[in-house]
Amino acid sequence: MVRKAMSNRLFWVSLLLVFCNPQGSFACTNLIITAGASSDGSVMLVYTNDGEWLYRLDLTPSADHLPGDSIEFVSWRNQTRGKLPQVPHTFGVVGFQMNEFQVAVGETTFTGREELWNKSGFLEYWHLMKLALERARTAREAVLVMTSLAEQYTYGSEGESFSITDPDEAWILEMIGTGTGGLGAVWVAVRIPDGFISAHANMARIGEFPIDDPDNCLYSDNVISFAIERGYYDPQGDEPFRFNEAYNPPSPDRLKYCESRVWSLFTRTAPSLGLSSDYHRGVPGAARYPLWIQPDRKISLADVLDLVRDHYEGTPFDMTTGVAAGPFGNPNRWRPLFWEDGETKYSWERPVSTYNTAFSMIAQSRSWLPDPLGGIVWFGVDDTWFTCYIPVFCSVTGIPKPFATGDIRKFSWDSAWWVFNFVSNYANLRFSAMSEEIRSFGNELESKMISEQDSIASLAGVLKGDELRASLTHYTVSRGEWVHREWVTLAEHLITKYNDGYIKDDRGVPQEAGYPDEWEKTIISSEPERYVIPDWNRNGAIKDVPY
């Protein structure tokens, strides 16, 4: 019993340190695909956890607990902040992403009205995510676990949007605190209709909601009254109550940073809607984007792997074009994204795919398969553009060591995060050329693992219980270790091929690659006289200076 209490304490300490990293996860993106909107009938949840930190994937096995057991929540100084009673039985969880019943959770922080951040509350959003997975068999149950705990013990984080899915349903839950010294939380949760998709990216997305449809909408008793009390909503006015307007009023900078990602995901999946860019560009009076849309066609896992790598390619905001992309079409824009020149404010675009992603996942829940086999976390580390997603089944008893290893303060070839991070950073030297090669290499590995899933699914008719879990664990671990080895090989290949500005040909001979014609024209137009070679009436082509 003492050992169990200590392990509970140590777990919540480690989770606190992870999320309280100064560059932690405050800039994430979620995409939800319901069963009726996916090509194979699975429910999928994209969660990019963006921040400069190294996440080590882990497992929490199911466990029985004794009467009187509790969970202790501590500060970064290891001081107790609060306790809550443990339940008799907790479910097995992969990381804090999916449990053994294929329930998955993601989040994005919208912050909202900062005066409502109750920093005295000990229940943070990441606590609620993990507790929901340990205690809920369905997405709806997870909503109830999170909201009941927040109401009883007080919510202590900024405004947060949660995505919660299971093999049959998908929900968005949005929650904010009640201010310093306040109690409980303010929240609303809606179910995404089957056949539709939804997305959120650091802004509250739930506007109007039905107050008499408990099958599809749940909310706190104070959701409207608290807004009236604080002056966020006037019930005598002409406008209906909207959660997002009351608790996360928009501003031009936030719209560009956040809603641009939602617009891009919706535009790519339903171009027929012709969604205007006016709203995310801050045009006054522009209409908000809908909470959910119906895609033009059913979405496959391969489609989702493409969507999560978005830099606004092919749109007016394409980050791979223009002078800001440099000579080699690099979409990465280093932080800070915002700056000022005099009284004018500027910002780079903020895409779904960003170089400083800690990890990302596509949680896939499949109702036609038994839970141990039906739930997969397609897991990737670092930049979504350059990562390679590995399948981690929700019932595994082991994690590939390279994905459970690493320290952001010290490089190591043994850590998958560091290997992927090295490759993505090295590609910045000549993005257009290396990007094509890296993505082709990664696509080949991902396609192989996706193609294997039909044969893996056939295990349902052959193996049961511990034998099935052992087989899935072996597959998950072996594939994760294989991807890690392949990426180390890729890194060594890139160092050898792209060296000192040259690109080696198939014989290993360095070839002068230079710069694209358009970039050279840009250089000439910016400083017409600087690079000119005086004409001494010579004839013949320009010859390069030898080594």
In 10 A of CB 10, how many CB atoms? 13
Tokens 């390069």 belong to: 544
What is the pLDDT at residue 295? 98
Please state whether the peptide bond connecting residue 370 to the residue before it is cis, i.e. omega within 30 degrees of 0. Answer: no
Whether the CB-CB separation of 32 and 295 falls below 8 Å is answered with: no
Whether the CB-CB separation of 200 and 161 falls below 8 Å is answered with: yes
How does pLDDT run across 497-523, given as a tens digit for each residue? Answer: 999 999 999 999 999 999 999 999 999
What is the pLDDT at residue 77? 79
Percent of the chain with pLDDT over 70: 93
Model confidence at 6, in pLDDT bands (50, 70, 90)?
very low
Q: Mean pLDDT of all residues in the chain?
A: 94
Q: For residues 109 and 314, what is the distance between their CA atoms, to the nearest angstrom?
A: 28
In degrees, rounded to 5, the angle at the alpha carbon of residue 258 between the alpha carbons of residues 295 and 104 is 60
Is the pLDDT at 182 greater than 50? The verdict is yes
Q: What angle separates helix 431-451 from helix 465-497, to the nearest 10 degrees?
A: 160
How does pLDDT run across 454-477, given as a tens digit for each residue? Answer: 999 999 989 999 999 999 999 999
The two tokens of residue 404 are 């459970």
What is the pLDDT at residue 409? 97
Model confidence at 161, in pLDDT bands (50, 70, 90)?
very high
In 10 A of CB 121, how many CB atoms? 23
What is the pLDDT at residue 181? 92
Whether the CB-CB separation of 3 and 27 falls below 8 Å is answered with: no
Q: For residues 128 and 164, what is the distance between their CA atoms, to the nearest angstrom?
A: 12
What is the pLDDT at residue 80? 87
Model confidence at 24, in pLDDT bands (50, 70, 90)?
very low
pTM: predicted TM-score of the whole model, two decimal places: 0.94
Among 31, 24, 19, CA closest to 361:
31
In 10 A of CB 164, how many CB atoms? 30
How does pLDDT run across 69-111, given as a tens digit for each residue? Answer: 999 998 887 888 999 999 999 999 999 999 999 999 999 999 9
Q: Which amino acid is at 214?
A: P
What is the pLDDT at residue 3? 37
What is the pLDDT at residue 545? 61
Q: Mean per-residue pLDDT for 534-544?
A: 68
For residue 356, CA distances in Å to 27, 48, 145, 261, 484 come to 10, 10, 31, 16, 19
Dump the DSSP string for 155-219: B-SSEEEEEEE-SS-EEEEEEE---TT--S-EEEEEEPPTT-EEEESSS----S--SS-TTTEEE
What is the pLDDT at residue 331? 98
Please list, in sequence order, all residues whose beta carbon lies within 8 angstroms of the beta carbon of residue 90, skipping any fewer than 6 positions away. 60, 62, 63, 65, 134, 135
What is the pLDDT at residue 543? 63
How does pLDDT run across 272-321, given as a tens digit for each residue? Answer: 999 999 999 999 999 999 999 999 999 999 999 999 999 999 999 999 99
Is the pLDDT at 66 greater than 60? The verdict is yes
Whether the CB-CB separation of 29 and 312 falls below 8 Å is answered with: no
Is the pLDDT at 2 greater than 50? The verdict is no
Q: Mean per-residue pLDDT for 328-345?
A: 95
Q: For residues 60 and 544, what is the distance between their CA atoms, to the nearest angstrom?
A: 62
Is the pLDDT at 531 greater than 50? The verdict is yes
Whether the CB-CB separation of 381 and 416 falls below 8 Å is answered with: yes
What is the pLDDT at residue 76? 80
Model confidence at 1, in pLDDT bands (50, 70, 90)?
very low
85: part of which helix (H) or strand (E)?
A: strand 80-85
What is the pLDDT at residue 18? 52
Among 14, 105, 54, 77, CA closest to 406:
54
- Strand-pair category, 93-94 with 43-50: unpaired
- Strand-pair category, 338-341 with 292-293: unpaired
Whether the CB-CB separation of 103 and 137 falls below 8 Å is answered with: yes
How long a stretch of residues is the chain? 547
What is the pLDDT at residue 78? 84
Is the pLDDT at 4 greater than 80? The verdict is no
Q: Mean per-residue pLDDT for 478-496?
A: 98
Among 280, 289, 291, CA closest to 251:
280
